[in-house]
Amino acid sequence: MSSLPPATAETDPGTADARVIWQIAGQDAVSFLQGLVTNDILPLGQEPGIRWAALLNPQGKYLADFFLFRRPGEAMLHLDIDARLAPAVLRLLQLYKLRADVQISSSDLRLSRGTGPLPAAAFADPRHPAMGWRLYDSTGLESAEPVDFAALRVEHLIPEYPHELRVNESYILEQGFERLSGVDFRKGCYVGQEVTARMKHKTELRKGLVRLQLEGEAEPGAPVTLEDGREAGILGTVSHGRALAHMRFDRLAQPLFSGAARLTGETPPIQS
C-alpha cells in the first residue's frame, strides 16, 4: 500500500466541519471509482461537474459519503470527504485499486461554502438547491453571511455523517439518497448494488428519514421511544426546535419521546 501525503483539511480535523480533499489521477481513475460508488460519475470523465455519492459495504450498508468533482481545465478528479471518514476510506480505495492506474494524493484545494449567487468556478451543491454552492480553490472564499447549514439540512431532510448516516448501519435509500441524487439505478454494478436495488424494486421501506418538532432538550443519537418505552427510531441533527430522525413509519402517529423531550412528526414518510 502506498503512503499518502498529509491531506488538506478545511478546518481542524477534530471538528465536525473538517473536510479532506484528495486528488485522484490516472488513466483508470474514473472507471475505478465508477465500479465502487453509488452514483454515475462517467460524465466527470468528459466534462467538469460534481457528484455526491456513497461507498457501501457488500451488505449494502453505508461506509462513507463524499463529493467527487472535476474542475474546468483539469483532467484529474478530486474527492471531498469528512475528515473523520477519510482514513478508513483511503484504506479501502488503496485495497480495491490493485494494479489499476490510479494515484491518490493530497490536494492544496480548500472548500468554501455559501448560499446566494453562484461564484465563478463554484458548483451548485448536487443534493438540493437550498444547500447553496461549493467552491474549491487554493485560497478559500469568505462568505458575507454565516449560513446555518444544519438548519437547512433539517428543513430539507438532508442526512450527514455521523448523526444520520451511520457506518455499517444505515441503508442509503432509508436516508433519502435517491431523492437527493446520490444514487443512480441505471449505472450498473458497484459494491452493495444488489441489496440497494432489491430495496428499491422489491420491498416497501418501513423506516426512513423524517423531520420532527422537538419540545425540550434532546441529543443526536438518543433513542426515540413510544410512551410505553418501545423504541421507534433514533434522533439525528437537532436545530432550532426541530430534528431529523430515522424512524419506523408505523409509529410516527403515536406520542413520541426522547428522554424528557416530546417529539411530534412534522412530515409524512418520504419513500426515497
Residue 262 belongs to a domain: yes
Asked whether residue 249 is assigned to any structural domain, the reply reads yes
Q: Give pLDDT tens digits for 167-209.
A: 999 999 999 999 999 999 999 999 999 999 999 998 899 999 9
C-beta of residue 143 within 8 angstroms of C-beta of residue 116: no
Pairing of strands 123-124, 133-137: antiparallel
Tell me, what CATH number does 54's domain have?
3.30.70.1400
Alpha carbon distance 152, 131 (integer Å): 7
The reply to whether 123 and 32 lie within a common domain is yes
Residues 127 and 225 in one domain: no
pTM, two decimals, is: 0.91
76 C-beta neighbours (distance < 10 Å), count: 15
Query: 19 in a domain, yes or no?
Result: yes
Kindly state whether residues 136 and 211 are assigned to the same domain. Answer: no
Q: Grade residue 140 by pLDDT with cuts at 50, 70 and 90.
A: confident
pLDDT of residue 203: 84
Residue 267, pLDDT score:
61
Q: Mean pLDDT for the chain? A: 91
Span 68-103, pLDDT tens digits: 999 999 999 999 999 999 999 999 999 999 999 999
The residue-averaged pLDDT of 221-246 equals 97
What number is the average pLDDT over the span 203-225? Answer: 95
The answer to whether the beta carbons of residues 64 and 167 sit under 8 Å apart is yes
pLDDT at 3 over 60: no
Model pLDDT, residue 145 = 73
Which residues span the domain enclosing 259? Answer: 206-267
Q: Give ∠ CA 50-54-55 in degrees, rounded to 5.
A: 130
β-partners of residue 67 are 52, 80
Distance CA 208, CA 172 (A): 9
Judge whether 164 lies within some domain. Answer: no
Does the structure show a pLDDT above 70 at 13?
A: no
Question: pLDDT (tens digit, 9 = 90+) per residue, 31-56?
Answer: 999 999 999 999 999 999 999 999 99
Cβ neighbours of 53 (radius 10 Å): 26
Say yes or no: 13 and 138 in one domain.
Answer: yes
Q: How far apart are CA 138 and CA 130, in angstroms?
A: 25
Distance CA 45, CA 26 (A): 11
Do residues 137 and 30 share a domain? yes
pLDDT band at 2 (very low <50, low <70, confident <90, very high): very low
